Amino acid sequence: MQMPTLDSLLQRCASGDQTAFSSLYDELIGSVFGLAKRVLRDPAQAEEVAHDVMLEVWQKSHQFDADRGSAKGWIATITRRRAIDAVRSEQSRRNRDGRQGVNDVVPGSGDPVGDVVSDREDRDRVRTALDHLTDLQRQAIDLAYFGGLTYREVAERLDVPLGTIKTRMRDGLKRLSTVMDHL
Amino acid sequence: MNGELHELVAPYALDALDLAERESFERHLSACQRCQQELEELSLAAGALFDLTAEPAPARLKERVMADLSPDPGKVSPLRRTRASFINWAIAGVAAAVALIVGFAVLTPPTEAERAEAILASAQSVEVGLDGLDGRVVRSEDEAVFVGSGLTALAGDRTYQLWYIGEEGPVSAGIFRPDATGNATVLLHGTAAEGLVVGLTEEPAGGSDQPTGEVLATAEL
């Protein structure tokens, strides 16, 4: 029996098929939750975001267009955007309170100095794969993907020309693609 | 400039374009085969970043999500008042000042590292030694922290996984990898209770629903 693809499961959600949604959920919730957690760090907030992401996936399933991308990619984008928005709201709220907030730390990126808890599985595994990239490629991708910065914001933050950032991102992703082929 | 649009494939794959650039790139993309081909390859790589961060999500999350599904997608259904909704509500300034002040404690959950530190430092915490490994499990009410040393380094596709083992069998309490010195301090996910046994196994990366590796260490709370 052939396993239904994620794309077809998502399409079935559009007609109200909760069984299909349940399967889709089981397949992807690990990545959704894990990504949210990498961006937000706090598992409770990550859980809230993951909950909202999955509801949005259900609500907007009719908007998914298989010609323009994969179900997984579509869901990954929703997850990233919600997680990054959540971090930004949290930071704005802290700034409004006049809290002595940590200088706007880009969520999910960088190595927290003196972290009591040892590296989480997700950070290590991503780091292992990203180890194959140069430091500069890894940094550009990390800031964009997990930090939610646009490439222009990355260039500004690192004080590096736009063309350089675009090249680092491209070369980094190409290298990651090669690494994956060898896994 | 048209020439530069070709260079936006990678930022697009990483979703690192602002709205205006994204829209003009998408217009370009629909007519450019070269970019479409490159995007296919780079999207797979960006997709790997999504796969690689996977970790077990709490079972209760699925219950909540399934319960909150509206019968027909596309139709608006009132979301249960989750904590996230409460945050939005409070930020909107609708909440009374008092509610806002009270809400702060709820709205800023500590990070896991802070929780773990707090538990280890607390005089009220109860400590039990680990059987099978150097280390201990420290419990404070319904939370517990695993502290271990001498943990063997793992291959990239393996992870350590903690379990709460009770009458109904093992329940995952989280996954982790030790630091470079073989140490780990991990806040367990889930509810600690006297009588539960904390177990440690080695599993495939991403963790397992049930232990598949041999039990490396235990501690009875």
Q: Which of B7, B27, B40, B50 should be substituted to probe chain A, the one whose Cβ sees the most A Cβ atoms within 10 Å?
A: B50
Total-model pTM: 0.54
CB contact under 8 A, A47 and B44: no
CB contact under 8 A, B48 and A125: no
pLDDT at residue B115 in the model: 80
pLDDT at residue A41 in the model: 86
CA atoms in the 13 A half-sphere facing the CB of B107: 22
Q: Does A9 touch chain B (CB under 8 A)?
A: no
What are the backbone angles phi and psi of residue A117, rounded to the nearest 5°?
-75, 135
Nearest to B65 among A54, A62, A177 (CB): A54
* HEC sequence for A4-30: CCHHHHHHHHCCCCHHHHHHHHHHHHH
CA B170 – CA B198 distance, rounded (Å) = 9
CA B177 – CA B179 distance, rounded (Å) = 7
Nearest to A117 among B45, B68, B112 (CB): B112
Q: Report residues of chain A scoring pLDDT below 50.
A: 100-105, 109-119, 122
Q: Does A144 touch chain B (CB under 8 A)?
A: yes
pLDDT tens digits, one per residue of A2-41: 678 999 999 999 999 999 999 999 999 999 999 999 889 8
A-chain CB neighbours of B183 within 8 Å are 118
Q: Which of A40, A170, A173 should be substituted to probe chain B, the one whose Cβ sees the most B Cβ atoms within 10 Å?
A: A173
Nearest Cα residue to B68 out of A9, A52, A35, A86? A52
- Judged by DSSP in three states, A145 sits in helix
Q: What kind and span of H or E run contains B143?
A: strand B143-149
pLDDT at residue A119 in the model: 41
pLDDT at residue A136 in the model: 95
| Residue pLDDT tens, chain B, 221 long | 456 899 999 999 998 999 999 999 999 999 999 999 999 889 888 888 888 778 899 999 999 999 999 887 765 444 444 444 444 544 444 434 444 444 444 444 566 777 888 888 887 788 888 888 888 999 988 889 999 988 888 887 888 999 999 888 898 898 888 877 788 888 898 888 888 999 999 988 778 888 988 889 999 98
